[in-house]
Amino acid sequence: IELNGIQIDSNSYQISEDKIAFGVSVSYFGHSQVNPYSNKKLSLFVKSGDSLVKILSNYTIENYHGEWDGDCDGGFNETKKSLRMSQEKTNQLYFDFN
């Protein structure tokens, strides 16, 4: 499995009434033909003074994997997720997401 890419997300995430976070996604790829694998994780950051604070760490937004015998028999699984911010706050700091 290799690191396939790092990308700053073009979406912004309204995480509170007055704060916006930005995302960084990291992609991984496996080269096995009989056991394919790919994965994409999202981390969110907010600016705090002169630094960045990570508020979400390595949340899997895409995952694909499978096992195949190289002939005819195999199974594969693919999952894709997205973040949707709600107006509810569990910890009174940032909006929940679902």
pLDDT at 7 over 80: yes
Give the sign of the dihedral formed by CA 88, CA 91, CA 97, CA 98.
negative
- Tens of pLDDT, residue by residue over 26-71, are 999 999 989 999 999 999 999 999 999 999 999 999 999 999 888 8
The DSSP annotation for 8-31 comes to: EEEEEEE-SSS-EEEEEEEEEEE-
- In this predicted model, which residue has the larger pLDDT, 86 or 78? 78
